[in-house]
Amino acid sequence: MFKPGHVDEDGHHPMTEFRGTSDLAYQFLTELLATPWDTPSLRAVDGLGAAIGTHLGQRRTRNEDRSLLAQVNCPNGQIYTVAAVCDGVGGSEMGDAAATTALVALVDQIAQLKRRLPARDLIVRLVRRMDDVIRESLSGRGTTTASIWICSDDGDAAAVNVGDSRIFSWSAGRDLIQLSTDDTLENELKGLDIKDPTVLNVRGLKGSLSQALGQAGRTSADLHLNVIPKERFGDAGLVLASDGIWKGSEGGFTAIAKHASSPLELVRRALTLAAWCGGLDNASIVALKDVSDRRLFVQQRKYLYSAPVVTAWYGDTKVILREGGLTAGEHVNLGVNAAPARPLGDEEPSPGPKEQKKKVRRKSRKSDNKNPQLDLTEPEAQLHRHTPARPKVEISTGNDSKKEDSTNED
């Protein structure tokens, strides 16, 4: 697994070789490296009307998926909300490192924006930069897929997908609509004049990726990017998911999404189904209830920083990071993971640094035991007991709604 102390056979240290452009990037990388990704996690982020979760699965020894929800205050005066799922390619030496680096590069580049760009232009710029950073940092030893959605505080939004993670339009009671196209050799051949693409089955290449971030032997300009414009989102929700979510039962995942009434319900049931259907791969998912929800466009509080501020949710963690000094009039000396300073108009005194750190750093860990994760581990327990028959998947709306009431929020 990709850890701070990891040094490979050639003496390379991925953490020190990360080509980040800021102190904030290094801080965020340190936080992600400290996260126990192999532990199942599930959480709602009510402030964004969203939920996020990940599970190791039954067949893998490490989780190479990385998923994220974040809001970023930028120097260009805008606030961006971003959702991302990156699935480190298992055939590469350091897929987990590539996925981690992808998230750091994504957030770092947003945080350094000095001018405003249309969302569809911005997301292309971000993905190409992520591709370059991964390749420069890992020298082609790690690659990853990436499903990304970004929205500015003026409502401009776009999404893009690289690899075989997927982006869906989602609304309760309606069928899922896949917005992205898998970057596989099979789909590439559909655009060519090839009479029998089933030759891929014979060669064992069906489902093989045609492109991923961080590949050696090319540049980011060679990436073929299909941007999903804001118009295709409509007033629906959005789901970003790694292939481990639907690999075991694509039909089951579609049915679960259709009948889920909330992002948390969808995420919990999708992870449970993936585990019960064999846990063939790492499974990660982010769900947003309504991409037209104003909560996604503007943070409820804008802080008086002279530098970027990042609020990020991933795994079972929420962190607040910033780079640079405080503006005139602010008196709290903030550090990594400390709560932001008191905004204008807030009459409550700011807590001291120690209290802030206790309040914000890993604030969700305190109530982890209340998270509805029992369904995720039950299939694994069944396997350890060598039960010959796999139990049927049971979905109970009534029980889920009771569990949801006690789930930890943002």
pLDDT tens digit sequence for 98-127: 999 999 999 999 999 999 999 999 999 999
Give residues with Cβ within 8 angstroms of 159, minimum separation 6: 123, 147, 148, 149, 150, 167, 179, 180, 227, 228, 233, 238
- From CA 185, how far away is CA 198, in angstroms rounded? 11
- The answer to whether the CB of 257 falls within 8 A of the CB of 170 is yes
What pLDDT does 374 receive?
31
What pLDDT does 181 receive?
87
CATH classification of the domain holding 388: 3.60.40.10
Q: Which residues of the chain have pLDDT under 50?
A: 1-9, 11-13, 15-16, 199-206, 300, 304, 325-406
What pLDDT does 234 receive?
83
CA-wise closest residue to 108 among 32, 37, 21 = 21
What pLDDT does 200 receive?
43
* Number of domains into which the chain is organized: 1
- Report if residue 329 sits inside a domain: yes
CA-wise closest residue to 134 among 166, 167, 96 = 96
- Report if residue 333 sits inside a domain: yes
- The answer to whether the CB of 82 falls within 8 A of the CB of 68 is yes
Range of the domain at 50: 14-405
Tokens 């020894």 found at: 61
- Report if residue 4 sits inside a domain: no
List 237's β-bridge partners, or say none. 170
What pLDDT does 57 receive?
93
- Report if residue 6 sits inside a domain: no
Q: What is the pTM of this model?
A: 0.75
- Report if residue 24 sits inside a domain: yes
Q: Strands 237-241 and 283-288: what pairing?
A: antiparallel
| Burial call 220-249: b when 16+ CB within 10 Å, e when fewer | beebebeebebeebeebbbbbbbbbbbbbb
